[in-house]
Amino acid sequence: MFENFLADMGERPADKQLDRIDNNAGYSPENCRWVSAKENGRNRSNNRLLTLNGETLPLAAWVERTGFSLATLQGRVRMGWPDERVLTEPARARGEKRHLTVNGVTKPLSAWCAELGLSATTVRHRLQKQGMTAAEALGLS
């Protein structure tokens, strides 16, 4: 048995792991290859895949490609953003105030909340988890 495997795949190259190209198929010579640990980890069936401009990659690859942090991309995915928005919307600088625009008027979230007597946590939840527009989240629609 091992002799057949060795004849099909050859000796394991240094720093390489056996990987199945299609995780749902078996360990046949046409479905196996030697890859780096990094590449093998990105071919797991439980990876979150995102697509932009017809290119589908695991989240970790998009972190390298876009320069966004893993936490930023994971948070955007959890909020239900479409792939294109997850991968292209510029990240706010840490501590930068969030601004909302309603009917052409732009103010910091804190100003809207003070004016309307709303909690910023409630408004953020409405925007991020419930997918409301700014007007809806502020009760102005």
Cβ(97)–Cβ(48) below 8 Å: no
One DSSP character per residue, 28-89 reads: -GGGEEEE-HHHHHTT-TTPPEEEETTEEEEHHHHHHHH---HHHHHHHHHTT--HHHHHHS
pTM: 0.57
pLDDT recorded at residue 78 = 84
Q: Is 117 left (phi over 0), alpha (psi -120 to 50) or beta?
A: left
Query: pLDDT 10s digit of each residue in the chain, 141 long?
Result: 788 888 888 889 999 998 898 888 988 889 999 988 888 877 787 789 999 999 999 999 999 999 999 988 998 898 788 999 999 988 876 666 778 889 989 888 899 999 999 999 999 889 888 888 889 999 998
pLDDT recorded at residue 139 = 93
pLDDT recorded at residue 23 = 85
